């Protein structure tokens, strides 16, 4: 009997070795469904990366435009201040009187009217 038990154990061990080698050959790393999911995930990552880059480029352009407009506003404010100073310089009584004399106007009591504010 002892011999018979050895033969059967050898038979089982050789069958399991064949099955193990067959299973190893058939085993794949990823199934087709997983491959599709990985591909979809990779495409999603690429799309989102491109979206982020395009959004950042648009924000950069808008910020650049805002800075250009702010610079134009500052320059116009400077021009306005210069013109206000020029108006205040030209509206002094001495300059008005000088300009009036150049135009031939004179100061006579008949031409002067006193206006009192209410």
Task: Tell whether 110 is covered by a domain.
Answer: no
Task: Tell whether 33 is covered by a domain.
Answer: yes
pTM above 0.75, yes or no: no
One digit per residue, the tens of pLDDT, for the chain of length 118 reads 556 555 555 555 555 555 555 555 566 788 999 999 999 999 999 999 999 999 999 999 999 999 999 999 999 999 999 999 999 988 888 888 888 889 888 777 777 777 777 6
Task: Tell whether 67 is covered by a domain.
Answer: yes
Q: Which two tokens stand for residue 96?
A: 């008005």
Task: Tell whether 60 is covered by a domain.
Answer: yes
Task: Tell whether 78 is covered by a domain.
Answer: yes
Task: Tell whether 118 is covered by a domain.
Answer: no
- CA–CA dist 87, 74 (Å, integer): 20
Task: Tell whether 112 is covered by a domain.
Answer: no
* Ramachandran area for residue 67 (φ above 0: left; ψ -120 to 50: alpha; else beta): alpha
Task: Tell whether 12 is covered by a domain.
Answer: no
Query: Can you give the residue range of the structural domain that contains 81?
Result: 29-100
Tally of domains in the chain? 1
Residue 95 CB partners (closer than 8 Å, separation 6+): 89
């Amino acid at each position: 009997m002892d011999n018979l038990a050895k033969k059967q154990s050898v038979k089982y061990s050789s069958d399991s070795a064949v099955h193990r080698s067959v299973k190893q050959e058939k085993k794949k790393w990823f199934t087709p469904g997983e491959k599709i999911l990985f591909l979809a995930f990779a495409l999603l990552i690429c799309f989102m990366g491109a979206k982020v880059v395009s959004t950042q480029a648009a924000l950069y352009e808008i910020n650049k435009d805002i800075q250009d407009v702010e610079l134009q506003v500052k320059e116009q404010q400077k021009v306005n201040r210069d013109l206000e100073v020029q108006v205040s310089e030209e509206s002094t009584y001495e300059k008005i009187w000088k300009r009036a004399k150049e135009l031939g106007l004179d100061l006579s009591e008949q031409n002067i009217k006193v206006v009192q504010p209410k």
